[in-house]
A and B are shown apart, each in its own frame.
Chain A
């Protein structure tokens, strides 16, 4: 006879309420797992989907994702001439917050060489890739703009010619692909007043070092900010080439920093996502601990409620295993049912979350194992109390 199940049936309402409560806590743990995996997936999406072997960035910089990196646009030509390099392309990326169709939106602009260069959108789910030098864009469907729609950026309107799915930056914001020149224009655009102010400041600076106004006007183009800059050069190597050797060559001769795709991946995971990993890990531990304490207390209360029945069972000659099983099974039923509830809830709702949730089966399995062990631990308090109960407690009124 399964005493635990019989007792659960008697306290069904209390059990269901606890399963729902604890299940919601477990659901938060699973969501945090999903947020973490989603963050990693988002954070490295661009790296994994760029189909490049090396990332060349400004000297002593961890760019282009972890910190700003600025390279002259023609740096790609020097990189392309490096032995072992099959193809090199300029690449630009920056996050913006602009109004699109009356709504402020955050997204990341990717500028690339649209005529066969690296760094373009990988898989387009609708429409086509950018085929003209200007005023076309490919956006992720998360941006909410339909194919053929027009988006005003800077001084121009851009037509959406292609849509991607799941193309996001490390913050989960959609990617917007533009031709390199368009991306540079949007990035460095200034209105006339800002340009005038910058020009006046530069002229004053040149005059301050002993130049006449005429000389200053002539020297101005040489010191003006150059908008023909990029953030990185993407490199594809010839088959059989050792990436470390090529990276070393570029570092030594061109004075740039070079990362392999694997290094770039590590850089993002160990840098940008490290703190989030720690915070999410801490929250997961706290939530699991709280859940286990709740289960332990409920099991303890249920044990105390039936302490006289336990004493009677002992008096009737029940073995310790019968008593232990009664409590242990209830704890595990509660834990497993709460986890099942959490799992179903998250499976049904995760697609509607504003952040990308990635539910990895391995992560879910590990969480279940931890929670299952927690359920075992939670029953200890009740088990100790039950085993300490003397059978003589059954006697008397």
Chain B
């Protein structure tokens, strides 16, 4: 069974002459532990797809299922959105987006505490996660005192905090140099394999394409499967 199943998803902004179809009958299946990349030019609808799947934007039509459970069907959201995001989705951002006034440890623990885990338990588990991500020696550092790569590791820890079946990554390596970007990709792959989380990443970073299990190309709101060779032939996505 797919962790994520999207059927006929569409998103239309505006109406009449100003109508813009951002997602056009998108179908997508993602398995547990799969590392999926969404590539495509700017404005093609990649981020809109992530926003719709995580129910930050309301889709116009279609069906979204998580682990076989219907969470959205043709204009109707069938769950508590914030609870859904706390329990089922982790986010990794291009700019890391760590809470600047919390230490690395607290950033990870906060995600658990928002999901109802107690203070002591959350800090214990956060330390274990940072240890797993080999960044526990920086647990008490504030984000401003961490390098970009270190911040992204902490962000991955935060995304993993509640062991979600889905992790959405928005340009996870874009702000890192090649070496650090590669390390983050290896880490994401390890997380996907070992934690059985499906990771869907929007990326423009052609250097990292080879690291993904599955590639999807998005153009004018349409999603199609592609491979690394074809992606390279399309040129570096913009």
Which residues of A are in contact with B by a Cβ distance under 8 Å? 1, 3, 6-7, 9-11, 306, 308-309, 312-319, 322, 390-392, 394-397
Contact = CB atoms under 8 A, between A and B. Distances in A.
A395 B99 contact: no
Nearest to A394: B97
Interface in B34-51: 47, 50-51
Nearest to A322: B114
24 contacts: A1-B106, A1-B113, A3-B102, A3-B110, A7-B101, A10-B101, A11-B101, A312-B91, A312-B93, A312-B97, A312-B99, A314-B82, A315-B54, A316-B85, A316-B114, A316-B158, A317-B87, A317-B115, A322-B114, A392-B51, A394-B91, A394-B97, A396-B47, A397-B175
Contacts of B174: 397
- Count chain B CB atoms within 10 A of each CB in A312, A313, A319, A322 and give the residue with the most: A312
B125 interface: no
Given A306-B100, A396-B47, A397-B171, 10 more contacts: A1-B119, A3-B101, A6-B101, A312-B91, A312-B97, A313-B114, A394-B91, A395-B50, A396-B95, A397-B94
B93 A394 contact: yes
A395 B170 contact: yes
Given A6-B102, A315-B91, A392 B86 contact: no
B47 to A, nearest CB: 6
Interface of B: 47, 50-51, 54, 56-57, 82-87, 91, 93-95, 97, 99-102, 106, 109-111, 113-115, 119, 142, 158, 170-171, 174-175
Contact of A317 (B57, B109, B114, B170): B114
Contacts, number: 80
A301 to B, nearest CB: 15
Contact of A395 (B93, B113, B115, B119): B93
A1 B83 CA distance: 18
A1 B110 contact: yes
Main secondary structure of the interface of A (DSSP, over half): helix
A395 B47 CA distance: 8
B22 to A, nearest CB: 13
A266 B217 CA distance: 86
Contacts of B110: 1, 3, 316
A359 B94 CA distance: 57
A391 B56 contact: yes
